[in-house]
Amino acid sequence: MRKVLRVDASARRDGSVTRDLADRVIAKLGSSEVITRDLLDGVPFIDETWVGANFTPESDRTLQQIEVLAYSDQLIREVMDSDTLVIGVPIYNFAVPAALKAWVDLVARVGVTFAYTETGPVGLLKNKRAVIIVASGGVASGSEDDYAVNYMRHFLAFLGIVDVEVVAADQLMLDAETSLRGAHEAIENLAASHTSAIS
């Protein structure tokens, strides 16, 4: 059974477009085990103590440093244990929500999810697929003003996840009906490609 990690970043539980679309994507992906990480439940920001623990060799870490990194370790295990990531990305002020950026900071760990080599950084998370679900009021997905989807694509590729698809319900304040219809159609196409990929 394929495992799906669902990451919700919307500040709203009721009326959230990305959460609704994530429900639809999960349903279309078929019978999978779903791990849900709702960032609205709270996610810490990295600080000086966390950075110090992260850059201390694992064998030299104190009990306190191990505890400081425990939440980050848990988030990374969720990613590693998953075949597909479904990430809700509402665009807030042209970029990702602060909670999602905090999740990114906790998942990006040198020597764990990526490594530096003589030829540059190399992602250590291979053979995974990601679906980015984006919603915006006025920003067009993939445009020069979109610092959310382009950022998430780059981040995922940095970790080695290059099979990335986007379901966009963008510019909702301009034409919500057309935008949502396009997102629903993209989900239908996504389901077909998923079926063929695992058959």
What top-level class would CATH report for the domain 3-198?
alpha beta
pLDDT, mean of residues 29-39: 89
C-alpha–C-alpha distance, residues 132 and 167, integer Å: 6
**One-letter amino acid for residue 84 of the chain:** T
Per-residue model confidence (pLDDT) at position 142: 87
166: left (phi over 0), alpha (psi -120 to 50) or beta: beta
CA atoms within 13 A of residue 147's CA, in its CB half-sphere = 9
Residue ranges per structural domain of the chain: 3-198
Tokens of 199: 């058959």
Please answer whether residues 170 and 136 qualify as being in contact, where contact means their C-beta atoms are separated by less than 8 angstroms.
yes
Beta-carbon neighbour count of residue 104 at 10 Å? 17
C-alpha–C-alpha distance, residues 184 and 181, integer Å: 5
Per-residue model confidence (pLDDT) at position 1: 62
140-187 pLDDT tens trace: 998 999 999 999 999 999 999 999 999 999 999 999 999 999 999 999
Q: Chain centroid to CA 106: how far?
A: 12
196 marked among binding-site residues: no
